[in-house]
A and B are shown apart, each in its own frame.
Chain A
Amino acid sequence: MPDLIAITPLGATRPRIDSHGPVTLTEVTDRALASVAARLGHEAQTAALVTSLIGAPAPGPARMGGTDLTAFWMGPDQWMLDAPIETHEDLAHQILAQAKGATSVTDQTGAWCRFDLSGDGLADVLERLTNANTRAFTGGEAQRTAVEHMGCFLLCHSPRHISVIGPRSSAGSLHHALLTAIRSAH
């Protein structure tokens, strides 16, 4: 283990939690991310790799899948893998070891921050931030779009639990936007 102390995207040692009305906003810092993209002609092998990693079919466009280790679709033949950092601090290298030259793998853990919205009335909040039709989300959606000018992924675990994954450098702006929208909607 390195003798360095990591900080959260918001600049603290512990993740931030805010509650307002029916909604709780939680900074999530215990996940590791790695992107995988199929090498030319190895699309099927890469989908199979994703399937074996998450124990579920590789998710289709704008979908997510898996349970503990999950994946969401990023683009044609491209996915983001998402795993607990406790056991997968080095997720990219772990995947690379199984990729057998069929897949390009890139560490993405540090590139993103994640805020989870949980509770009721999440669509009331998100409709003030993004053009995604979150009111129609039922669970399993993974849509990349802009949230207050920031390119983000929206992951719907259930209509009462939605993750917003955004650029880590803008964590402060994203958190501010989310909190402002929660207070505005509820």
Chain B
Amino acid sequence: MLINHPTLGPRDASEFVYKGDAALIRRPAPDAPDALEQFIDYGYLRDNPAGAHRELWFHEQGDRSWLVVTRDTLTHEITDVELARDVARREGRSK
């Protein structure tokens, strides 16, 4: 596969390390009253769609950026790639 890195252009997937569902960015607040339940959901309950999936990939043999890659798990078509840091900021993790 080729991942179209937002700053470096298309790079071979072999340069990346896969982590999984980009929902991992949405780490629950530890001080919420139901924090334990939220963390169990966060840690163990993942969607596994047949179709578009937002995933985290780490460019280990490159610029060390974490990316959020939107990939169709049926066709491997990649429709969107963003720096995970930008996604995290957009999702309100700036604090």
> Which residues of A pack against B, CB within 8 Å?
61-62, 73-76, 78, 131, 144-146, 151
Contact = CB atoms under 8 A, between A and B. Distances in A.
B60 interface: yes
A131 B83 contact: no
B63 A75 contact: yes
A74 B60 CA distance: 12
Given A61-B7, A76-B7, A76-B83, A146 B14 contact: yes
Interface in B68-85: 83
Given A75-B64, A75-B65, A131-B12, 15 more contacts: A61-B7, A73-B63, A76-B7, A76-B63, A76-B65, A78-B63, A131-B14, A131-B15, A144-B61, A144-B63, A145-B61, A145-B62, A146-B14, A146-B61, A151-B60
A109 B66 CA distance: 26
Given A76-B7, A76-B83, A145 B63 contact: no
B3 to A, nearest CB: 13
Interface size class of B (residues with CB under 8 A): 10 to 19
A151 B61 CA distance: 6
Given A61-B8, A62-B8, A145 B15 contact: yes
B95 to A, nearest CB: 12
B62 A144 contact: yes
Contacts of A131: 12, 14-15
Contacts of B64: 74-75
Q: Which A-B residue pairs are the 3 nearest by beta carbons? A: A75-B63, A146-B61, A61-B7
Interface of B: 7-8, 11-12, 14-15, 60-65, 83
Main secondary structure of the interface of B (DSSP, over half): loop
A5 B7 CA distance: 42
A74 B61 contact: no
Nearest to A149: B61
A74 B15 contact: no
Nearest to B63: A75
A145 B15 CA distance: 7
Contacts of B62: 144-145
Contacts of A76: 7, 63, 65, 83
17 contacts: A61-B63, A73-B63, A76-B7, A76-B63, A131-B12, A131-B14, A131-B15, A144-B61, A144-B62, A144-B63, A145-B11, A145-B15, A145-B61, A145-B62, A146-B15, A146-B61, A151-B61
A144 B15 CA distance: 10
